[in-house]
Structure 1
Amino acid sequence: MRFPRQTACFRTIGRVLAVLAVLVTGGAAAAEEPLRLMAYGDSLTHGYGLAAGETFPEQLEAALKAEGLDVEVMNAGNSGDTTAGGLARLDWALADDPDAVILELGANDGLRGLDPQATFDNLDAIMARFTEEGLPVLIAGMLAPPNLGREYGEAFNAVYPRLAKKYDAPFYPFFLDGVAMEPSLNQSDGIHPNAEGVAEIVARIKPHVVRLLEARDLAERPDAGN
């Protein structure tokens, strides 16, 4: 028979032992933090004109978690950034210590008709730094606006395949695939996706993101191997 005072004593001892176990193991359970996936881009990543919960990083994170992946998608987008702007703030972004990256930059270069070679050089420098840091990267490509002419379009559109080939990196050819030029999926400016447009982007790019994470053994589903 166990008396009330003894029972309380045993419970206290149990709590102390549990705390000691955590201390001895270095808090192993608490150390299991989510994978940090950095979405590095411009207003398309940052979420121009969107409400909380509607941005690309937020919708992608929810979609990845629904796939069983414990991932935090970090919003490292900056509205208005060109590839030069992205390169200039790269050190600041890397201070957040990501584990993997989605690179989405260049839309503003195309809209402004900037030199495609300069766009390549900036993205090349960004990729070189990611490589130096040992970060796996999914390159999300962009296409030139058709009004800039065939010659410019061919030069600009070749930037991203060249980059992916140089770094042997996973490549998603067009970030706005299925959304560009679709009025119902864009805001009134016809450039930035609305919440439904972002959902479409997420649905299309998600398999590529999952492969990026799983191919590098960065993330495993809870039922992996079952």
Structure 2
Amino acid sequence: MLTRHFLALLFLLAFAPPGTCGPVKILMLGTSLTQGYGLPPGVEIPALLQAKLKAAGVDSKVINAGVSGDTSTDAASRLDWSLADHPDAAIVEVGSNDALRGIPPAETERSISTILAKLEAQHVPTLLLGMKAPRNLGSAYVRSFDAIYPRLAKRYGTMLYPFLLEGVVLNPKLNQADGMHPNPAGAKIIAEHIFPYAKALVRKARVRRTAK
């Protein structure tokens, strides 16, 4: 009886639709905040997220596609290359360098829209990580920039975490000497904040897998 059940299980696995087995692959497209600038190996936000998902019993692989200095336009231009990994889900963290360089918010919005549209076209569930412009850029710029993320999340039906650096920004105890990049303690807090959203993203990805 046991042997028959085991053989039946092997049969089901052998003929399971492609993509329904194995870890959920999450592409994290971003800047130095994703890449882990100044952080020891294993303390980057993607690595911390993967560790937290594993501890919660979630089989996943978080792909670190962060590039230091990237603007949203840069990230959009390399998305096709990143999609070659055939991710099941995506986390998008872009825009911080746009604000630091004073790039017009309309340009940033077009680039992020391009990213989200490509992910939507491939039916990749997505979590958009919001950013806020430095307050010293003036109220008009701040209003225009900050409005980008909720507007695009609504347009594309993506999940939204309102502000990636919530609870970490401007805190010297949680940032490196440059005041812009989180230290290990700051990265841990960010990963903890994103974690519930990442779990929900995995659930969406699994539903998509079974629907294939």
Structure 2 length-normalised TM: 0.88
Shift of 1:97: 1.1
Change beyond 3 A, Cα 1:190–1:113: same
Please say if residues 35 and 218 of structure 1, whose CA atoms lie closer than 8 Å, have aligned partners that are also in contact.
no
**Residue in 1 aligned with 2:72?**
83
**Residue in 1 aligned with 2:155?**
166
2:59 to 42, 52, 70: 70
**Residue in 1 aligned with 2:187?**
198
Count of paired positions:
200
| Deviation digits for residues 173-205 of structure 1 (CA, Å, limit 9, x no counterpart) | 101111100111111100000111110001111
Shift of 1:109: 0.2
Shift of 1:147: 0.9
Alignment of 1:54-65 (within 5 A): 54-65=43-54
Shift of 1:61: 0.3
Please say if residues 128 and 158 of structure 2, whose CA atoms lie closer than 8 Å, have aligned partners that are also in contact.
yes
The answer to whether the aligner puts 1:100 opposite 2:79 as a matched pair is no
Instruction: Compare CA radii of gyration and give the structure with the larger one.
Output: 1
| Deviation digits for residues 70-99 of structure 1 (CA, Å, limit 9, x no counterpart) | 111110111110001001111111111110
**Residue in 1 aligned with 2:196?**
207
Please say if residues 24 and 202 of structure 2, whose CA atoms lie closer than 8 Å, have aligned partners that are also in contact.
no
Q: Residues of 2 paired with 1:199 and 1:76: CA distance?
A: 19
The answer to whether the aligner puts 1:37 opposite 2:26 as a matched pair is yes
| Deviation digits for residues 1-34 of structure 1 (CA, Å, limit 9, x no counterpart) | xxxxxxxxxxxxxxxxx9xx96996497xx8311
Amino acid at match of 1:61: Q
Structure 1: 5+ residue stretches without partners? 1-17, 220-226
Amino acid at match of 2:59: D
Amino acid at match of 1:34: P
| Deviation digits for residues 18-70 of structure 1 (CA, Å, limit 9, x no counterpart) | 9xx96996497xx8311101111010000111111110110010011111111
Amino acid at match of 1:174: F
Please say if residues 88 and 205 of structure 2, whose CA atoms lie closer than 8 Å, have aligned partners that are also in contact.
no
Q: Residues of 1 paired with 2:120 and 2:64: CA distance?
A: 20
Q: Residues of 1 paired with 2:12 and 2:149: CA distance?
A: 49
| Deviation digits for residues 103-125 of structure 1 (CA, Å, limit 9, x no counterpart) | 00000001011000000000001
The answer to whether the aligner puts 1:142 opposite 2:142 as a matched pair is no
Q: Give me the identity figure in percent.
A: 44
Q: Secondary structure at the match of 2:206?
A: coil
Q: Residues of 2 paired with 1:119 and 1:80: CA distance?
A: 14
Structure 1 length-normalised TM: 0.83
Please say if residues 24 and 206 of structure 2, whose CA atoms lie closer than 8 Å, have aligned partners that are also in contact.
no
Shift of 1:215: 4.0
Q: Secondary structure at the match of 2:86?
A: coil
Shift of 1:164: 0.5
**Residue in 1 aligned with 2:3?**
none
2:175 to 183, 186, 191: 186
CA RMSD of aligned residues (A): 2.2
